[in-house]
Amino acid sequence: MFQRNYETVFILTPVLSDVQMKDTVDKFVNLLKELGADVINVENWGLKKMAYAIEKKTTGFYIMVEFKADPTLIHKFEVEFRREEKVMRFLTTVLDKHSIVYAERRRKGEFNKKVEAKEEATK
Protein backbone atom coordinates (compact mmCIF):
# COMPACT_ATOMS: atom_id res chain seq x y z
CA MET A 1 0.00 0.00 0.00
CA PHE A 2 1.44 3.32 -1.15
CA GLN A 3 1.23 6.12 1.43
CA ARG A 4 1.65 9.84 0.95
CA ASN A 5 2.01 12.63 3.47
CA TYR A 6 -1.02 14.90 3.88
CA GLU A 7 -1.95 17.92 5.92
CA THR A 8 -5.56 18.83 6.67
CA VAL A 9 -6.58 22.14 8.19
CA PHE A 10 -10.18 22.49 9.27
CA ILE A 11 -12.19 25.21 10.97
CA LEU A 12 -14.73 24.34 13.65
CA THR A 13 -17.61 26.60 14.59
CA PRO A 14 -16.75 28.97 17.47
CA VAL A 15 -19.92 28.18 19.47
CA LEU A 16 -18.46 24.86 20.66
CA SER A 17 -17.22 24.36 24.20
CA ASP A 18 -13.66 23.13 24.72
CA VAL A 19 -14.93 19.61 25.41
CA GLN A 20 -17.06 19.54 22.25
CA MET A 21 -14.15 20.87 20.19
CA LYS A 22 -11.75 18.24 21.56
CA ASP A 23 -14.33 15.47 21.00
CA THR A 24 -14.75 16.54 17.38
CA VAL A 25 -10.99 16.59 16.80
CA ASP A 26 -10.67 13.15 18.44
CA LYS A 27 -13.46 11.87 16.20
CA PHE A 28 -11.52 12.80 13.05
CA VAL A 29 -8.18 11.55 14.39
CA ASN A 30 -9.78 8.21 15.31
CA LEU A 31 -11.42 8.05 11.87
CA LEU A 32 -8.00 8.45 10.26
CA LYS A 33 -6.62 5.64 12.38
CA GLU A 34 -9.58 3.40 11.53
CA LEU A 35 -8.99 4.04 7.83
CA GLY A 36 -5.38 2.90 8.24
CA ALA A 37 -3.61 6.26 8.31
CA ASP A 38 -0.64 7.10 10.53
CA VAL A 39 -1.36 10.34 12.40
CA ILE A 40 1.91 12.24 12.72
CA ASN A 41 0.85 15.46 14.40
CA VAL A 42 -2.27 17.29 15.59
CA GLU A 43 -2.06 21.01 16.32
CA ASN A 44 -4.80 23.16 17.82
CA TRP A 45 -4.18 26.70 16.59
CA GLY A 46 -6.98 28.00 18.79
CA LEU A 47 -9.76 30.48 18.17
CA LYS A 48 -8.75 32.77 15.29
CA LYS A 49 -10.41 35.62 13.44
CA MET A 50 -11.24 34.72 9.85
CA ALA A 51 -10.66 36.93 6.83
CA TYR A 52 -14.36 36.82 5.97
CA ALA A 53 -17.54 35.58 7.62
CA ILE A 54 -18.57 31.96 7.12
CA GLU A 55 -22.13 31.08 8.15
CA LYS A 56 -22.34 34.56 9.76
CA LYS A 57 -19.41 33.74 12.06
CA THR A 58 -16.17 35.73 12.05
CA THR A 59 -14.06 33.39 14.21
CA GLY A 60 -13.40 29.67 14.35
CA PHE A 61 -11.24 27.00 15.96
CA TYR A 62 -8.40 26.12 13.59
CA ILE A 63 -7.07 22.55 13.74
CA MET A 64 -4.20 21.08 11.70
CA VAL A 65 -3.70 17.32 11.31
CA GLU A 66 -0.63 15.88 9.60
CA PHE A 67 -0.81 12.23 8.57
CA LYS A 68 0.38 9.52 6.18
CA ALA A 69 -2.32 7.66 4.28
CA ASP A 70 -3.18 5.77 1.15
CA PRO A 71 -4.52 8.25 -1.46
CA THR A 72 -7.73 6.24 -1.82
CA LEU A 73 -8.70 7.01 1.81
CA ILE A 74 -8.78 10.79 1.40
CA HIS A 75 -12.22 10.82 -0.23
CA LYS A 76 -13.74 8.81 2.66
CA PHE A 77 -12.08 11.17 5.15
CA GLU A 78 -13.37 14.30 3.42
CA VAL A 79 -16.92 12.92 3.16
CA GLU A 80 -17.02 12.87 6.97
CA PHE A 81 -15.99 16.55 7.05
CA ARG A 82 -18.88 17.39 4.73
CA ARG A 83 -21.34 15.48 6.97
CA GLU A 84 -20.21 17.10 10.22
CA GLU A 85 -22.17 20.28 10.99
CA LYS A 86 -19.47 21.56 13.35
CA VAL A 87 -16.92 21.86 10.50
CA MET A 88 -17.22 25.15 8.62
CA ARG A 89 -14.31 24.65 6.18
CA PHE A 90 -11.54 22.14 5.51
CA LEU A 91 -8.61 21.75 3.15
CA THR A 92 -6.44 18.68 2.59
CA THR A 93 -3.12 19.08 0.79
CA VAL A 94 -0.40 16.64 -0.27
CA LEU A 95 2.97 17.47 1.26
CA ASP A 96 5.95 17.44 -1.08
CA LYS A 97 9.47 16.67 0.11
CA HIS A 98 10.18 20.30 1.03
CA SER A 99 6.93 20.63 2.98
CA ILE A 100 7.71 17.43 4.89
CA VAL A 101 11.09 18.83 5.98
CA TYR A 102 9.46 22.13 6.95
CA ALA A 103 6.76 20.34 8.97
CA GLU A 104 9.39 18.31 10.85
CA ARG A 105 11.32 21.47 11.71
CA ARG A 106 8.11 23.21 12.81
CA ARG A 107 7.24 20.28 15.11
CA LYS A 108 10.69 20.45 16.69
CA GLY A 109 10.18 24.17 17.33
CA GLU A 110 13.20 25.33 15.36
CA PHE A 111 11.40 28.39 14.06
CA ASN A 112 10.24 29.52 17.51
CA LYS A 113 13.77 29.24 18.90
CA LYS A 114 15.06 31.84 16.45
CA VAL A 115 12.33 34.28 17.45
CA GLU A 116 13.04 33.68 21.15
CA ALA A 117 16.77 34.16 20.61
CA LYS A 118 16.16 37.50 18.85
CA GLU A 119 13.86 38.64 21.67
CA GLU A 120 16.49 37.77 24.29
CA ALA A 121 19.19 39.59 22.33
CA THR A 122 17.13 42.79 22.27
CA LYS A 123 16.58 42.78 26.06
State which H helix or E strand residue 93 sits in.
Answer: strand 87-94
pLDDT reading at 115 higher than 90: no
How high is the pLDDT of residue 13?
A: 95
- Amino acid identity of residue 26, one-letter, is D
CATH superfamily assigned to domain 4-122: Ribosomal protein S6/Translation elongation factor EF1B (3.30.70.60)
Distance of CA 103 to the CA centre of its chain: 12
For 67-110, the pLDDT digits (tens) are 999 999 999 999 999 999 999 999 999 999 888 888 888 888 87
pTM confidence score: 0.82
SS3 for 24-88 is HHHHHHHHHHHCCCEEEEEEEEEEEEEEEEECCEEEEEEEEEEEEECHHHHHHHHHHHHHCCCEE
Task: For 14-48, write each residue's pLDDT tens digit.
Answer: 999 999 999 999 999 999 999 999 999 999 999 99
